[in-house]
Amino acid sequence: MGTAVSGRVYRNFINGEWVAPNGGKSHLNHNPANTAEVIGEFPVSSHADIDAAVAAARQAYQSWRMVPAPKRAEILFRAAELLVKRKEEFSRDMTREMGKVLAETRGDVQEAIDMTYYMAGEGRRLFGQTTPSELPNKFAMSVRQPIGVCGLITPWNFPMAIPSWKMMPALVCGNTVVLKPGEDTPLSSYHLVETLVEAGLPPGVVNLVSGDGPGAGGSLAKHKDVPVISFTGSTSTGRIIAETCAPEFKHYSLEMGGKNIILVLEDANLDLAIDGAIWGGFGTSGQRCTAASRIGVHKSVYKEFVTGLVERAQRLKVGNGLDPSVDMGPVINEQQLQTVMNYVEIGKKERAKLLTGGHRLEQGDYAKGWFHEPTVFGDCDAKMRIAQEEIFGPVVSVMPIDGLEQGIEVANGVPYGLSASVYTRNVNAAFAALRDLYTGIVYINAPTIGAETHLPFGGTKQTGNGHREAAVAAIDFFTEWKSVYIDYSDKLQRAQIDNNN
């Protein structure tokens, strides 16, 4: 499985071949825990590279769409089997390029495995409907049809899971793919594509073009021969994608930001809630769209909860994710680290109470990486910027609330609507929260992270544009409906005109 052309130099994958970028430009991918370690040299692709990849995908579409869906699915199943065998290898490479701890990268690869198996199963379903006609001797049904070339633009924080969420349903439905992975973590997408090729995917069906967002990603979104764009990333970039796709009436799915909340009610199991807050707030160094960056705690248990949360946050060990004793890795790059540090200063200026953390870690081994302390602000107001804006780092804002009603108001009072969580032993409160939280995902007695591949994933408001990833919802996005009427009456029947008596 050697993508490396010379040492650690990687190329684009177009029409079944590894090819150098058109302009010959490349960038170095560094380990965020130790920037002296170069993971590889990856292409900086141009519009010409995107053109070539789209042309290959467009040509391959004509034959791939004719492959029976169960046969397409068999290739995905073989790919899932290969991913299982290589899970540890791919997990370690992901920790080196992305930084999150090995337990989390194993989960990332496992999610790709789960999605690939799941979509392989859909190859023998892809159900439509049959329904009685309102006229005699007439048959009515609906079928799904593929759309064409799908442009997939994926982020760096889940570098194998998220490409699999998009790629596997697109492929099983009969579409072809051009994948533009996150610039900071391309290696995991290379592993995924190599695995599909080894499983028997024909040339041109999947193409991988590495590069930055404005260049490679922008060219892909604008391309007139790409009718489908699926994007995961920031809300600001998602808005640009939407504006780019709208004039051509492209299908586009946007999975964007979140400012997710955990509500801790007065009857909650506080130890369990603290466990969830630590995992939700500091897992992946807070670099998840589902991260629990806000916590609303009932005033009657606020002091006890905050004391426990701070104590647990201070015990977290920060370091290289390959070290099994480490709880939290670095952030992805210097720019993201600066963003986190800027928001810490914003929190201080807003007079939030800094309870723990708040500093860059830069002594000893930390000097080689992009590390930040787990940080907790207390006594926050719901309207503070640190409680409204997505930070994408290990910073959590805790707010006192009077009860569920105020908690719901606070939860819904942000521009995003991805995920929310409520800790309570009161079944009435739990169901009221399920009803009233305006988010795409709700958890009861669990943190705001932990989605499974067989349920829809996505959010409301500025988190998305109404589409969902995973499960059958992904099949809906990557197919078009076709309604079919077969009249075997051997005479003209005029539907409602002949059926109005």
> pLDDT tens digits, the chain, 501 residues: what are they?
444 333 489 999 999 999 999 988 999 999 999 999 999 999 999 999 999 999 999 999 999 999 999 999 999 999 999 999 999 999 999 999 999 999 999 999 999 999 999 999 999 999 999 999 999 999 999 999 999 999 999 999 999 999 999 999 999 999 999 999 999 999 999 999 999 999 999 999 999 999 999 999 999 999 999 999 999 999 999 999 999 999 999 999 999 999 999 999 999 999 999 999 999 999 999 999 999 999 999 999 999 999 999 999 999 999 999 999 999 999 999 999 999 999 999 999 999 999 999 999 999 999 999 999 999 999 999 999 999 999 999 999 999 999 999 999 999 999 999 999 999 999 999 999 999 999 999 999 999 999 999 999 999 999 999 999 999 999 999 999 999 999 999 999 998 888 776
Angle at 151 between CA 148 and CA 154, to 5 degrees: 145
**Residues labelled catalytic:** 255, 289
- Can you name the residues that pair with 261 across neighbouring β-strands? 294, 420
**Domain residue limits, the chain:** 36-256+464-483, 261-444
d(CA 337, CA 360): 8
Position 130: which residue type?
T
| Main-chain phi, psi angles of 230, to 5 degrees | -120, 120
Q: Identity (one letter) of the amino acid at 377?
A: F
**Residue 491 DSSP one-character state:** S
3-state secondary structure of 361: strand
Quote helix, strand, coil % in the chain, to nearest 5.
Answer: 40, 20, 35
Architecture of domain 36-256+464-483: 3-Layer(aba) Sandwich (3.40)
How far apart are the C-alpha atoms of 147 and 231, rounded to whole Å? Answer: 17
Residue 179 near residue 209, CB atoms below 8 Å: yes
CA 411 – CA 433 distance, rounded (Å): 10
Burial call 385-412: b when 16+ CB within 10 Å, e when fewer: ebbbbbbbbbbbbbbbbeebebbbebbb
Structure-block tokens of residue 137: 């001797």
The CATH number corresponding to 261-444 among 3.40.309.10, 1.10.3720.10, 3.30.390.10, 3.90.25.10 equals 3.40.309.10
